[in-house]
Amino acid sequence: MISTTTVEQTQKIVKTQQFVKMKSKGLGDTIEKITKATGIKKVVEKINPNCGCNKRKENLNKMFPYKK
């Protein structure tokens, strides 16, 4: 029988892989992927839930978009 922890860990890995495969619109998306993969995003959100990460991501995407 597979433990609940193993199933949860597998689900997290699959979600992370899907997130990384998503196309980045710009620099903000890339930075979000890196901070999420390294665990930095989770730490920042615990310290300051209203850190403004989404707004910063959107601004960086507008300032530094990737060509299509």
- Predicted local distance difference test score (pLDDT) of residue 1: 60
Check residue 6 and give its pLDDT. Answer: 81
Residue 52: inside a domain: yes
In this structure, is residue 14 part of a structural domain? no
Domain count, the chain: 1
Tell me, yes or no, whether 66 lies in a domain: yes
- Distance, CA of 6 to CA of 9 (rounded, Å): 5
Examine residue 50 and state whether it is found in any structural domain, yes or no: yes
Domain that holds residue 56: 23-68
Query: What does each C-alpha distance from 36 to 2, 4, 16, 24 come to in angstroms?
Result: 27, 23, 8, 14
- Asked, for residue 8, whether it belongs to a domain, the answer is no
What is the C-alpha to C-alpha distance for residues 21 and 64, in angstroms, rounded to an integer? Answer: 20
Residue 18 is predicted with a pLDDT of 65
pLDDT block averages, 10 residues each, the chain of length 68: 73 66 90 92 93 95 91
The whole-model pTM stands at 0.68
In this predicted structure, what is the pLDDT of residue 46?
Answer: 94
Q: Is residue 3 part of a domain?
A: no
Is 37 part of a structural domain of the chain? yes
